[in-house]
Structure 1
Amino acid sequence: MDITNNTILITGGSAGIGFEIAKAFTAAGNKVIITGRDQQRLDEALLQLPGATGFKGDISSEADTEALVAVLLKDFPTLNIVVNNAGQAYKYNIAEPSNAFEKAQDEMLTNYLAVVRLNEKLLPQLKAQSSAAIVNVTSIVALVPGQLTTYSASKAALHSYSQSLRIALERSSGQVKVFELMPPLVNTSFSAIINGHNGIPAAEVATDLITALEKDEYEIHVGNTRYIYELSLSSPEEALTLMNPVA
């Protein structure tokens, strides 16, 4: 894909991986729209993204999603890339009373179902472009579950959905490509609950995404995700142990 002169939506783009992706795309000469739930953080991010536009909203909210889609259709008719990055995660022990259902419901809605809803609503607009792409941000835990139980399950669902959507769009429209970005542990405030300071810089994830888009590499294994994927095939038990160290 051409990584310049695109109109790009990035959900959860005011911090962490989403913000670094927004920075990379802005620097490459694209029109960028970011979403975020916190207006102050959104404003602070936009100060560092020349020409970018912000939309305050929660992607897990149907009303906010409808409002976002209306804005995109009216003000950004050339939208051709959607990066589904917004996420939710809780760390809890599923073997103990922990309101697991409520946490799981929130994570599955934000990390999986909301992505399905937004993609479905934006596909007509994407199909109208000569070249378009959807980027679903999953994680290494989509392949081997880690310490964040339902987060892992939600990313596994998104991984499966991404593969199915890629096949369906290849057979129907042809011009809408589906990419899956699989980061390992990344040093962001989002990952602080699982010692994210040990992770790779978020800018590295953004760089790998840009490179993969240029080469049309649909499954993007960032950092050590390729090693863990291959380990999961040769020694599933060892991969699980690696991803779930004893505290």
Structure 2
Amino acid sequence: MPHVRANGIDLAYVESGSGEPLILLHGSNADRTQFDVFRPLLGEGIRAIACDQRDSPDSPCEPVGYDVFDHARDAAAFIEALGLREAHVMGTSYGGIVAMTLAIAHPERVKSLILGATAPSTAQFNAPDMAALRSEGPEVVARFMLGTVVSPDAIDNDPDLIAETKAALKIRDEASLARRMAAVAQHDVRDRLAEIKAPTLILQGDEDPLVDADTAFWMAERIPGAEVHILEGSRHGLTFQHRQRTADFVRAFILSQV
């Protein structure tokens, strides 16, 4: 797999297509492969580039703490290492946190911004009681985690989708997971959203158990000129169960910026 050296870290990436460069930033329990089934749906005219964040299985880093602004510096350096002055950037969930921080801290690298199923503060995520879930056993935890991404009906009736989703969810060692959770624990850019100058699209599922639609509209009111699209029936995994609808919105938005 190809890597590029960015901010002192070798980051793995994969790409498809040609045209407008789009950097895809994955969620917390995923890596670049989150977008394997999504990238081909973006169509002609878009060069879709999915990259790891530091501390991913194929992109390890020194076992020391880091924060979201370190992730943003990595992403900015990644864009530069590809020989690009700027790129469109899409992040979902944890990746959305990184994407909005990138747009604030390194605006010169972001041509347009797409935020999916995310929020400007960890206080705006509906965090589950994982201790209570774990007390009910690993099967309950596994079903809950899968159910945040896709609908319960899909879990029971769409084995192909479930196989694709499970393949994209990465089991991290406890130390890596703890570092990633610590990186976003203090995430709060609510008072800096007005600094985002890139054209912005916000995508949010109306059945997302982790981020609600009100948060998406709240965020859009504070990012100058931001658009919001609510995807009916979608949960947290916008690039999985309803990936074609998500891809259609993303493609139209990017090509409208050309």
Common fold, TM-score beyond 0.5? Answer: no
TM-score range, shorter chain: 0.3 to 0.5
**Greater relative CO (CA pairs within 8 A, separation 6+):** 2
Instruction: Determine which structure has the larger strand proportion and give its number.
Output: 2
More helix by share: 1
With the length of structure 1 as denominator, give the TM-score of the two structures: 0.42
